Chain A
């Protein structure tokens, strides 16, 4: 069964450093998402991406964050200058059907980001 994959599984970085989290969505999916879960808190929506553009972003997704689909398979989340409060589990998800119709988002296993 196709699945979403994410690398690395765990990333440790120093405050102020740039990190790139990588995701390979399910191959025929068209809609891509990033969510995060700070330890002990809810899973929160960060951004959705379709047709090489951000379609929606939350207030968390400020100028320090960016997303990109650099090729036909990868979907990346970049944090330019990490802060301590960026420490969290980051989940990538993808879905097939167009927006404005309910569809299932399939999640990857997550990348645990630790900022020291």
Chain B
């Protein structure tokens, strides 16, 4: 069965500093990977996804992620964090099923931004 691990439960970063969130997955087939963000009181918003092709993918809000098959990782990065990036970030992998796909989420990383 597929699984996703986000080793960091909390990360505190200063505004303007760089951010990297780690994600490791376990999946027997070709992984299709996502990063979602959940701001306080909000739902899950898609940041970016990797299906195939270029292993460095660009997303919204200045985020990017790099797929590394050899390391089973899909880490999320942002060069310069803004106060509005304070949120919880979820990595997920999709399992393709017969008539519906199922997302398996990691435990999330909560990002706090210091002024």
Contacts and interface: CB of A to CB of B under 8 A. Distances in A.
Contacts of A101: 96
Contact of B32 (A45, A53, A55, A102): A102
B44 A48 contact: no
Interface string B29-71: 0001010100000111110010100000000000000000000
Contacts, number: 79
A55 to B, nearest CB: 4
Contacts of A75: none
- Residue among A4, A44, A56 with the most chain B CB within 10 A? A56
Contact of B43 (A45, A100, A108): A108
Interface of B: 32, 34, 36, 42-46, 49, 51, 90, 92, 94, 96-108
